[in-house]
Amino acid sequence: MLFTLDGKRVTHTPRADYFNAVKGLLGNDRTEDVRTELHRLIDAIPPNKDSGKRTFSSSHLGSSLTPWLYPLAHLYDAALEMEGKSGTEDHIQEQAGFSFGLFVWECIVGRDERWTFYDPNLPGDPNKEITGKVYFEQ
């Protein structure tokens, strides 16, 4: 379960049209493979020794997996297919990372534990930077 900092429950994944297009390119089997791997990775995050809770940034998690191995490399494959021959490598990597973030979001929304997220990309945030969400297990 995912909640905002002010306690509102989040029940959907943003950018649904884009996310559905990625899942459509992946197909059911590869989509499930990506979901399963993300659940495995989140389960493997060690809890904080004091709180017993996990915290992670989707950007840091993704960058620690570089180069992506399958099944997460399917996200690169989908981005490559979406961009076609005219896409630059940087843009393909960016789109694959964006898809990764949406899959992480979806994964957290569907988990049994209670999670809260912080979005460092909010307008007016003095610490604004283009990065993934930070998830906190509650």
Question: Residues 52-72: pLDDT tens digits?
Answer: 999 988 887 877 777 889 999
pLDDT, position 118: 80
CB 8 within 8 A of CB 114: no
Distance, in Å, from the CA atom of 2 to the CA atom of 117, rounded to the nearest integer, reads 7
User: Can you give the pLDDT at residue 62?
Assistant: 79
pLDDT of residue 73: 95
For residues 111 and 101, give the distance between their C-alpha atoms in angstroms, rounded to a whole number.
16
State yes or no: pLDDT of 43 exceeds 80.
yes
pTM of the model: 0.87
pLDDT above 60 (res 130): no
What would the mean pLDDT of 89-109 be, rounded to a whole number? 93
Q: Which domain holds residue 24?
A: 2-137
The pLDDT mean for the chain works out to 88
Q: How many structural domains comprise the chain?
A: 1
